[in-house]
A and B are shown apart, each in its own frame.
Chain A
Amino acid sequence: MQDVVLAMLAKEPAYGYELRSRMRGALGPLGEAMNDGQIYVTLTRLTKAGLVTSQLADGLPDRPARRVYALTPAGQQRVTAWLTEVSWPKPDLTEFHLKLVAAAAARLADPVALVDAQRREVLRRLRDAQRAALARSVDPVAGLLLEGVVLRLRADLEWLEACERMWTGRDRTERKAGA
């Protein structure tokens, strides 16, 4: 969040509410879940860290004075570093994989039933993301993000199918071996 707020300030100084609407515009339907207060909390932290400065701009007669935020030189350096840094969010498959392994080994739960439950959840998310992506009103840039979300969820579902094949097959082999 800190890096994102800094980067949104890179073009020019801005009021808090401008940052908020810039982010919402870029995120599209995904931005609806964003907590507005978080931006102000983040700006306060960044100010304390010396990455952002702010000053009060004169308000109009009928409006209160507002704070304008700007990057400090240190803030600018951090944005540059962040943009060139290679990082990628990791989907945490390890935990679910180990859950299946443990469930099967200890016979605590049917791994295939766990896969079914997981699939339901992923399908629900895919449905919501896809509906948002199919809406004709969606902004093309924000739509690109939704497309990424849809693609990842489809990959998750394909992996769950592979899990299902593996654990249904195992179950049968073991039953045959036991019989």
Chain B
Amino acid sequence: MTGSTVLAARGLNKWYGRDSGLVRAVDEVDLDVPAGQAVAIMGPSGCGKSSLLHLLGGLQRPSDGEVWLAGRRIDTLSEGALARLRRDSVGFVFQSFHLMDELTAVENVELAALLAGQSPRRARRRALELLDRVGLADRATHLPSALSGGQRQRVAIARALSNEPLVVLADEPTGNLDSAATVEVLRLFEELRVAGQTLVVVTHDARIAAVADRVISMRDGSFADDSWLAGTGTIYGGGR
């Protein structure tokens, strides 16, 4: 279920520091993500994978190079235009959930739609639908503090989907979760992949990477390996 390019990077660089202290966090990266593809970016800590994700989502500006989202160059947009683009077209999922502690689950999910000027009734209906989709219809009025880690991350995923994003960008979505909660999030990502949601996930959790259609290994700021996983047809291969 892949089509035209949704997200692209050309000659992308992010440098920190200068002279002998210069760190090339992202080093000349080219990337094309077709619509409907689930991409996992893996690599050791400090390989630049989180920096890359921040550049792709317009959370940071590159030192050099271009980022394109749905045929539109985004790295040159004004702060205001970039903020609108993130709100309207990108869904973010973070390791530490980033939910508002004072708001209930449904209020967290509908917040972006309200800020975008949607009517409260429509925003609420959509938020409840999304909570149902992530299996938390009965937790809508709970505060995050009354939810488990896995449930909080599922609320965050529902929130990321609220603007029907062109792409969902996730940074270590299972990094703070135990094994059972990880399985909940895995199921959800698998459902999103099957539904054709374009996904880019930065992770060092092989289970999340194994949900993807494509796995990129990063080392020292650039891509060391880029493989599109075709099925083997057997679950444990032969002769093991």
Question: B-contacting residues of A (Cβ < 8 Å)?
Answer: 29-30, 33, 89, 91, 112, 116, 119-121, 123-132, 134, 146, 149-150, 153-154, 157-158, 161, 165, 168
Contact = CB atoms under 8 A, between A and B. Distances in A.
A130 B186 contact: yes
B210 interface: yes
Contact of A127 (B44, B217, B224, B229): B229
A49 B97 CA distance: 62
B225 A149 contact: no
24 contacts: A29-B235, A33-B234, A33-B235, A116-B225, A120-B225, A120-B227, A121-B232, A123-B206, A123-B229, A124-B230, A125-B235, A125-B236, A126-B206, A127-B229, A130-B186, A131-B190, A131-B211, A134-B187, A134-B190, A150-B207, A154-B207, A157-B206, A161-B44, A168-B219
Contact of B237 (A29, A121, A131, A150): A121
Contact of A124 (B217, B231, B240): B231
Contacts, number: 71
B206 A112 contact: no
A129 B235 contact: yes
Residue among A30, A89, A129, A146 facing the most chain B CB atoms (10 A cut-off):
A129
A129 B236 contact: yes
B183 interface: yes
Given A123-B210, A124-B230, A161-B44, 17 more contacts: A30-B236, A112-B224, A116-B224, A120-B225, A123-B209, A123-B215, A123-B229, A127-B210, A127-B212, A127-B229, A128-B232, A129-B235, A130-B186, A130-B207, A131-B190, A134-B183, A153-B206
A91 to B, nearest CB: 7
- Give the 8 A-B residue pairs with the shortest CB-CB distance, closest first: A127-B210, A126-B210, A116-B225, A157-B206, A120-B227, A129-B235, A128-B235, A130-B210
A127 B211 contact: yes
Contacts of A120: 215, 225, 227, 229
A158 B234 CA distance: 22
A153 B225 CA distance: 19
Nearest to A165: B44
Contact of B235 (A89, A149, A161, A165): A149
Name which of B44, B210, B232 has the most chain A CB atoms within 10 A of its CB: B210
Contacts of A134: 183, 186-187, 190
Given A33-B234, A124-B231, A125-B235, A119 B217 contact: yes
Contacts of A146: 235
Residue in A121, A123, A127 whose Cβ sees the most chain B Cβ within 10 Å? A127
A132 B225 contact: no
Contacts of B236: 30, 125, 129, 149
A146 B186 CA distance: 15
Interface in B185-240: 186-187, 190, 206-207, 209-212, 215, 217, 219, 224-225, 227, 229-237, 240
A128 B234 contact: yes
B221 to A, nearest CB: 13
